[in-house]
Amino acid sequence: MDPVTLILILFVAALVLFATEWLPVDVTALGLLSALLLFGLLTPREAFAGFGSDTVLTLASLFILTRVLLRAGVIEWIGAALARRSRSATGTLRGLLGSVAGVSAFTSNTATTAVFLPVVAGMARRAGLPASRALMPLAFASILGGTITLIGTTTNLVVSGALPATGQKPLGFFELAWVGVPVAVVGLAYLFFVAPRLLPARDAQLEDSLRAYLADLTVAPGSALEGVTLRESGLGRDHGLTVVAVRRGEETVYAPPASFRLLEGDTLTVEGPTERILAGKNTLGIVSKSEQKLQTGGDVRLVEVVVMPGSPLLGRTLREARFRERYGASVLALHRRARQVERLGRLRVQVGDVLLVQGGAERIDALGDHLVVLGDLTERQSDLRRAPLAVLLFAGAVLLGGLGVLPLGVAVVVAVALSLALRLISPEEAYGAVEWPVIVLVACMLAFGTAFEATGAARVLTGALSGVLEPLGPYGLLAALFVVTVALTQPMSNQAAALVMLPLAIGTAKALGYDPRPFIIGITVAASNSFITPLEPSCMLVYGPGRYTFLDFVRVGAGLTLLTFVVSLLIIPRIWPF
């Protein structure tokens, strides 16, 4: 069998497997790479070159830098700051969506959606809006922002990395902004004024499965809570925390009224999910005294442990049991199935209580048989004290890469090295932050692109396509490629769809005598904007909490996709002529 026929058979087989997901996309990509090697269509050096490409290293580094920002609480702080400054609920929600789009231009849209999800849900609750009216716009805003810069989505980086092999220049850092900014602006206007009329009215299920903890947190000097009433603090409506009691000196006020004014040194017994308690500690200026008293060296872990029968803690308060001295760790919060209205310090430990425990890694490993670890929440902690340094490294890498002072790959790799050296992230967490299936998919598809060109299959296929598409003219060709790319992103990953379409678009454009650049931009924008189904990761994050159905995404996303299509067709040919 000649190489062209063989590569086209492999191309069709990969397309079917990507679309049906009978196998994970990274496994399909590895199988495709293996076939290229076994049939002699690529040498080992050519096949494995993608794993060492600057695209793969840049992607891995950006995954790690995004985790550094999350660990420092930067994105979380932005959301909380916007919520605190709210005037009108509708205006604040729109401001949040605009901020989400802006943040997503420089970080992963999935991570941005995950961080802003509780903030937007709280905003909806305060405004009396069903969560379903706010959460889908959140996911869509994060996707819209991804088309503004080169690092806005992994798809942009993948396309840029694949271009040199086809003889095209990589994408500039802000090159996509010419079309990305108008698409984002028009898309946000759609989310502000049209989407609310199409979205269903359903309450959120965001916290149904979250474990509620009791925690004693003290108002620190300079806290945002100092001098404000409980009503003004927004602890319940904005931060998801219920104040059970407040201790001031020797006096404890249970179920304090909304008019109760907080002072420095007050200890609040609050009830809420783990994420809300941790977020409150970092954004509101409230601290756990037991955590402050604990001196830990090396890696600090945060775990959930359940108290088993026979534990020496049973029937005692944590102070009476001398928990900190006994285990060398501190209890930040306690969960009990029956709702409590007592301060954490006065609760007597029972069998089945779940404790949120923080301590050194060695101490956690030595907790013993009577305290069984349910889960490790270490990666959910954030430390705002490291935020300025995290922002400096990330912004420095973006500026140096964006201005061309250093290649983007070099800038982000150096930023990762400095983050590790300055202990902003541990090596283990850095490796865990990398989305390895995406890395494998990109590296393997880069190799397939090489084989597609080298065997002449691209020339054969694009020659056939050019004969069919020539009557459409350049605008018709751009429209057709855009529509096909959008269609492919529904059943398959955005990166795979872009890498499948890219060589076809470039080859067809050359065969018809057009400049390939406008078609490259069109495919990149089309692959990055997936609104019609909830299969995009950002959409999957809000699918359950918003209680959406598949058709909800079709109804709202179809109009947004059409707007993206129209704006792209109007702008792309004017910036990148045919």
Look at residue 209 in the predicted model and tell me its pLDDT: 43
Residue 291: C-alpha distances to residues 1, 285, 302, 329, 470 (Å): 69, 14, 11, 8, 69
CB 393 within 8 A of CB 361: no
Look at residue 127 in the predicted model and tell me its pLDDT: 66
3-state secondary structure of 306: strand
Instruction: Tell me if domain 212-291 and domain 302-380 are identical in fold.
Output: yes
**56 forms bridges with which residues in the sheet?**
none
Look at residue 208 in the predicted model and tell me its pLDDT: 42
pLDDT (tens digit, 9 = 90+) per residue, 327-337? 888 888 888 86
Helical H runs in 350-472? 361-365, 387-402, 408-421, 427-433, 436-454, 457-469
In the chain, where are the structural domains located? 212-291, 302-380
Element (H, E) at 34: helix 25-38
CATH fold of 302-380 reads: Alpha-Beta Plaits (3.30.70)
Lowest mean pLDDT among 318-332, 380-394, 407-421, 467-481: 380-394
| Tokens read off for 389 | 């340094």
Specify the pTM: 0.69
User: Where residue 290 falls among pLDDT bands split at 50, 70, 90?
Assistant: low
| Tokens read off for 295 | 């001196």
Element (H, E) at 213: strand 212-219
What span, in angstroms and rounded, lies between the C-alpha atoms of 528 and 518? 16
pLDDT (tens digit, 9 = 90+) per residue, 105-140? 988 787 788 777 767 776 776 666 788 888 999 999
CB 474 within 8 A of CB 578: yes
User: Where residue 561 falls among pLDDT bands split at 50, 70, 90?
Assistant: very high
Between 82 and 25, name the one with better pLDDT: 25
What span, in angstroms and rounded, lies between the C-alpha atoms of 171 and 498? 14
Of the spans 105-109, 346-350, 525-529, which averages the highest pLDDT?
525-529
What span, in angstroms and rounded, lies between the C-alpha atoms of 158 and 441? 10
User: Where residue 479 falls among pLDDT bands split at 50, 70, 90?
Assistant: very high
User: Of the candidates 466, 467, 504, which has an alpha carbon nearest to the alpha carbon of residue 485?
Assistant: 504
Look at residue 204 in the predicted model and tell me its pLDDT: 54
**Total H helices, total E strands in the chain:** 26, 9
Of the spans 44-53, 109-118, 187-196, 247-256, which averages the highest pLDDT?
187-196
Statement: residue 552 has pLDDT above 50: yes
User: Of the candidates 122, 86, 75, 85, which has an alpha carbon nearest to the alpha carbon of residue 240?
Assistant: 122
The CATH number given to 212-291 is: 3.30.70.1450
Look at residue 560 in the predicted model and tell me its pLDDT: 95
Look at residue 11 in the predicted model and tell me its pLDDT: 82
What span, in angstroms and rounded, lies between the C-alpha atoms of 485 and 527? 6
3-state secondary structure of 111: helix
Look at residue 76 in the predicted model and tell me its pLDDT: 65
| Tokens read off for 145 | 């922002």
Of the spans 372-381, 405-414, 488-497, which averages the highest pLDDT?
405-414
Share of the chain above pLDDT 70, in %: 89
pLDDT (tens digit, 9 = 90+) per residue, 152-173? 888 898 899 889 888 899 999 9
Cβ burial of 546 (10 Å; 0-12, 13-18, 19+) is buried
Statement: residue 379 has pLDDT above 50: yes
Average pLDDT over residues 518-539: 87
Share of the chain above pLDDT 90, in %: 22
User: Where residue 366 falls among pLDDT bands split at 50, 70, 90?
Assistant: confident
